Each structure stands twice: as C-alpha cells, then as structure tokens.
Amino acid sequence: MGERILDLLTAARARLRAAPHTPPAREANLLLGHVLGWPEARILAHDDEAVGAEQAAAFTALVERRLQGEPVAYLTGEREFFGRSFAVDSRVLIPRPETEHLIEAAMAQTLPPRAWILDVGTGSGCIAVTLALELTGTRVVATDASLGALAVAWHNVRRFGVDDRVLLTRTDWLSGTRTRSIDLVVANPPYITQADAATLSPEITDFEPHEALFSGTDGLTSYRQLFAALASLRSGTPVLCEVGHTQASAVADLAHERGFVHHRTIDDYAGFSRVVVVIRG
C-alpha cells in the first residue's frame, strides 16, 4: 500500500510555503514528476493514485534538500532554456531567462554561410547548443575554464545532436583559439561583485559555482580579460556580452579602450540593460 499523490503533494506544498525562502508550491509537482518520470500535467490529472513507499521516500528526500535551499534545477537535473530542456548540475550556472536576450541578439546578426561562433564561458552549453540549432549551418567553438562545466556541456551537445558542429575546449577565456576565423562572439561571463554576494539569495551563493558568478571587486574583471583576449579578432566582428543591469556603459567603455566600437545596448523586458553589442574596430 503506497501513499496517495495528493496527500504527498499537500504536505510538501505546505512545507515549501513555510520555508524561509518560500519556494513556489508548484515545485512539489516538479519534484514528484522527476521521481515518477511523469510530466506535471499527469501528476495533476492522477493525484488520486498511490505511489510506492520507495518513490514517496525519494520525493520526501528531494523536498528536504529543497527546504535546505538547493535549487530545484539541480534536484531535477534539468532547466528549460529557449524552449529546450538542458541537463544541469552543481558544476554549472543554472541558465537564466535573461540570457535568452543574448540568443535573440545573436540571431539578429547577419552572418556568412557556415559562420564560426565563439561562446566564451559556455557553462551548461545552453548558448552554444541553442545557437547551433537556431542558426542552421553555423559552427560553434565553446570554451570554459571548468572541466566540470565542459562535461555538462558535452552531455547537452550530445543530447541535442550537435556534436559535429560544437567544439568544446578548455581554456582560460580563449587562449589558443584562432580568433581570426571567428564571425561572432557571444559571452555571458561572471559579472557579480564580491560586495554583492551578501545581497544574493543563499540558493545562489551556497549552491551555484562561484567561478560562474563572481568577477573581482567591481564585477568587471572578466570583461577586461575578455576584451584583451579578443584583440586579434577580424575588424568588423561583433561581440555580444550579457551584462549586469548597471554595467552596460562601463562594459562599453572597457571595450572602447581595447579598440571596439559600441554598437547598441539591448534592454530586457523589465527595461534593464542586458546585452552590450560592440564591434571590433
């Protein structure tokens, strides 16, 4: 005799609501769906059914971890990005919806046939894989300093069948990459200041990789290193960077110091600057 889905969900939702960081009660459906291998709609449509004791215990264990602040994406191992489900674990930043603006900006570029795109700091590979799928015929070089991140990215590259068009390479930013063949650069580098760490939720600071989040005392160290490393790009090559919402003009200035021309800044739906587009002069 197992436990009824509705009873399990009701208890879990109440506990999630009462937690200090109040995760949305809907996360109970996602966690039980993960344990049962069911989509959320099936959970809701069949909540009068019973599940086995082992599955109920596995669900309760996940709820406990969630109550300790572990992000739901790490518990289910999945996060949706640009309409596709990417594998994630604690070795990579959880893809954020705001990064979809970077994808849209890249898709708006005019590129030569079979263009080469460079994705610097690929993490889960969400940008590299999405661009390879959305921009037919393009090839992507995706770099990261973290071997763990590259392992997750490789999993996603294989999952989406783009291993013939996405090359993963472990480098410090892009050393060793032949940047003269690159037609477009995209980057979502770490950009949070150490001082802002205290203002972030423990769900982020206690669980996501710090090398994916923080970038020196002013949050701009990674952009400085990035623009220095991009010195040998061909003239006219666009570089699209995600930025923190107060950083757009500082990033454009840093690019200018390295011989790039500011082309435009793109806002997110809330009106915050989100993507800076510069062109190699």
Chain residues in the site for ligand SAM (CB under 6 A) = 92-93, 95, 99, 121-124, 126-127, 143-146, 149, 172-173, 188-190, 211-212
Q: Rounded to the nearest whole angstrom, what is the least distance from the CB of residue 166 to ligand SAM in the complex? A: 13
Could you give the count of Cα atoms lying within 13 Å of 14 in the half-sphere of its Cβ? Answer: 5
Q: Rounded to the nearest whole angstrom, what is the least distance from the CB of residue 257 to ligand SAM in the complex? A: 19
Nearer to ligand SAM among residue 92 and residue 248 (C-beta): 92
SS3 string, 54-95, reads: HHHHHHHHHHHHHHCCCCHHHHHCEEEECCEEEECCCCCCCC
Nearer to ligand SAM among residue 146 and residue 193 (C-beta): 146
Q: Rounded to the nearest whole angstrom, what is the least distance from the CB of residue 208 to ligand SAM in the complex? A: 9
Nearer to ligand SAM among residue 182 and residue 212 (C-beta): 212
Nearer to ligand SAM among residue 9 and residue 135 (C-beta): 135
Query: Do residues 221 and 191 make contact, with C-beta atoms less than 8 angstroms apart?
Result: no
Q: Rounded to the nearest whole angstrom, what is the least distance from the CB of residue 98 to ligand SAM in the complex? A: 9
Nearer to ligand SAM among residue 9 and residue 187 (C-beta): 187
Q: Rounded to the nearest whole angstrom, what is the least distance from the CB of residue 33 to ligand SAM in the complex? A: 23
Could you give the count of Cα atoms lying within 13 Å of 112 in the half-sphere of its Cβ? Answer: 11
Q: How far apart are CA 188 and CA 123, in angstroms?
A: 9
- Encode 182-216: b = buried (16+ Cβ within 10 Å), e = exposed: bbbbbbbbbbbbeeeeeeeeebbbebbbebbbbbb
